[in-house]
Structure 1
Amino acid sequence: MSTFETLKIRQRAIRHDFPQDFGLRIHRAISWLGRAEQETDDPDAAFLFYWIAFNAAYAAEQESFDLSERDVFRDYFQKLSEFDADNRIYNAVWTKFTGPIRVFLGNRYVFSPFWKFHNGVPGYEDWQDRFNAAQTRFTHAVSNNDTVTILSMLFDRLYVLRNQTIHGGATWNSSVNRAQLRDATAILADLVPVFINLMMDHASEDWGKPFYPVVEG
């Protein structure tokens, strides 16, 4: 049975207890996860569909628009981590994906300041120093088993890859970024279902109002 089917069966069994906004959020996330699983031969498409599933799960209308995407990610991961009594996120990060995450975070081509410098944005001439500092921060997070920091750094890089793809900054099926795209897709395929399951375990929590609610009429 696929991950999508497993999640869908669980969702159908307990959705009568879901608050309306939460039910819509989970329904959307699972639907896109199912679509992603169909793209077994196209990692570009799979990555985008997994990202949409993740976006459906975490994104909410913000009372304060001062929060950066990085802040929103960290708040979401902090909340999930607090609910993760069985260490499901921890086990995925520290057991299954330690190597791929380390390689991904060591890749300058998914480091935002690198591209800002090469695009001529002032103030990013020190991108290499920033990159080195991020590597040091990652090493400290590994030493301290700081899953929230690792996830925040990881998804910051995944967000760069997402932007490259969505905004036409990469070629479809390009040989240039195959390894990082395969790793990114595998990581999302494993982590997003864990996130969705944890959210369903705590459906009564305030996960925020989803963007674009269903409007009748």
Structure 2
Amino acid sequence: MTQTLTFAALKEKQRAIRKGFPENMGLRVHRAISWIGRAEACDGDADARFIFLWIAFNAAYADEREFQTVPQGERAAFLEFFRKLVALDREGRIYNAVWQRFSGPFRLLMDNRYVFNPFWQHHNGIEGYAEWQETFRNSTSAFNNAFQSGDTARVLSFVFDRLYVLRNQIVHGGATWNGTVNRAQVADGAAILNVLMPVFVDLMMDNPGADWGRPFYPVVE
């Protein structure tokens, strides 16, 4: 079973090799590790842990322009990032986490309409989403096909698209802190990110020469 990398282990490794990091990649890793460390201090608070780990995810990969221009769905930037990580993951750590540890939670998320954006669009009376149930079935079917074919990157892109809806619910005040509603998906989401985010960052440090993109908010003197 995949062991969760700790903040201390990531930070120790980063300090030892960071002189060889390109500036943009080094900044992403530095920021992501800091938020992973903050998440570790949230033992027993799944909401806070989920939020801090999502910030770490954004720090590692996000291009803010993608959030401003691409409609919510299976986001292209998610898939591109995951494909890059999976290709570089020669030991199969991501694969093992997905198939050995989280296959059950992944399927539960995909079967949960409350983390499916078109459901909420329809529920809130926005035109064009009356057929959300068909869209939901198609999305779940596409996920199952990716899962059965062992397409780790595509599986992750589907799951993180659902987690993005959960992120919106929490960050935009659409949920109660430590509430009883949606507890299972918050706990599962935090657990998934808690295992995968340190692996993502560790793979980035192992491959500093890959193109990890330019942070949208660089350090400006």
Q: Same fold (TM over 0.5)?
A: yes
Identity over aligned pairs, percent:
57
In structure 1, how many angstroms separate the alpha carbons of the residues matched to 2:63 and 2:117? 24
**Which of these residues, 138, 147, 150, is aligned with residue 142 of structure 1?**
147
> One-letter code of the match for 1:118?
H
CA contact (8 A) 1:61 1:209 kept: no
CA shift at 1:173, angstroms?
1.0
CA shift at 1:130, angstroms?
0.8
CA shift at 1:211, angstroms?
2.1
In structure 1, how many angstroms separate the alpha carbons of the residues matched to 2:56 and 2:188? 17
1:40-66: CA deviation from partner (whole Å, max 9, x where unpaired):
021111110000011100113659975
CA contact (8 A) 1:47 1:185 kept: yes
Please list every run of 5 or more consecutive structure 2 residues that lacks an aligned counterpart in the other structure.
Answer: none
When the two structures are superposed, what TM-score results if normalisation uses the length of structure 1? 0.95
Match of 1:16 in 2: 19
Match of 2:113 in 1: 108
Match of 2:138 in 1: 133
Match of 1:170 in 2: 175
Change (3 A) 1:205 1:112: same
**Which of these residues, 164, 167, 174, is aligned with residue 159 of structure 1?**
164
In structure 2, how many angstroms separate the alpha carbons of the residues matched to 1:177 and 1:44? 11
In structure 1, how many angstroms separate the alpha carbons of the residues matched to 2:38 and 2:216? 20
Secondary structure, counterpart of 1:174 in structure 2? coil
When the two structures are superposed, what TM-score results if normalisation uses the length of structure 2? 0.93
Number of residue-to-residue matches in the alignment? 216
Change (3 A) 1:155 1:181: same
In structure 2, how many angstroms separate the alpha carbons of the residues matched to 1:142 and 1:78? 15
Q: What is the root-mean-square deviation of aligned Cα atoms in Å?
A: 1.8
1:58 paired to 2:61: yes
In structure 1, how many angstroms separate the alpha carbons of the residues matched to 2:207 and 2:64? 19
Moved over 2 A (4+): 60-69
CA contact (8 A) 1:61 1:208 kept: no
Change (3 A) 1:48 1:142: same
CA shift at 1:68, angstroms?
4.9
CA contact (8 A) 2:5 2:195 kept: no
CA shift at 1:30, angstroms?
0.1
In structure 1, how many angstroms separate the alpha carbons of the residues matched to 2:151 and 2:200? 17
In structure 2, how many angstroms separate the alpha carbons of the residues matched to 1:144 and 1:2? 28
Match of 2:47 in 1: 44
